[in-house]
């Protein structure tokens, strides 16, 4: 069963990795690349977070998986600003 569609990471891989390393959500993400694809984890974030929290305790005062701009898809030319053809 696919969890991260962008990076094609399965439920099995995530559970196995979480089990083997007792990972935090961030470590689980870095080890498997789940949530690091072009959608920015918008589909699988909660799933990755849940799987990691099955074996580790949640720190309620921290967002476990960091958000980074741009939080919506944007073309490179727009992101880079004006005059990209110069």
Answer yes or no whether residue 85 interacts with other proteins by CB under 8 A.
no
Element (H, E) at 27: helix 25-32
Sign of CA dihedral 52, 24, 26, 49: positive
Binding to other proteins by CB under 8 A, coded x per residue (else -) over 23-62, reads -------------------xxx-xx--xx--x---x-xxx
Of 36 and 47, nearer to other proteins (C-beta) is 47
DSSP string, 34-58: TT-STTTTTTTHHHHHHHHTTTS--
Instruction: List residues binding other proteins (CB under 8 A).
Output: 1-3, 5, 11, 15, 42-44, 46-47, 50-51, 54, 58, 60-63, 66-72, 74-75, 78
């Amino acid at each position: 069963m696919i969890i991260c569609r962008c990076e094609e990471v399965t439920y099995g891989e995530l559970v196995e990795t979480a089990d083997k390393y007792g990972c935090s959500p961030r470590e689980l993400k870095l080890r498997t690349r789940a949530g690091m694809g072009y959608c920015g984890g918008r589909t699988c974030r909660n799933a990755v977070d849940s799987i990691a929290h099955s074996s580790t305790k949640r720190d309620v005062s921290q967002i476990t998986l960091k958000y980074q701009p741009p939080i919506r898809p944007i073309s490179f030319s727009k992101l880079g600003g004006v005059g990209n053809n110069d």
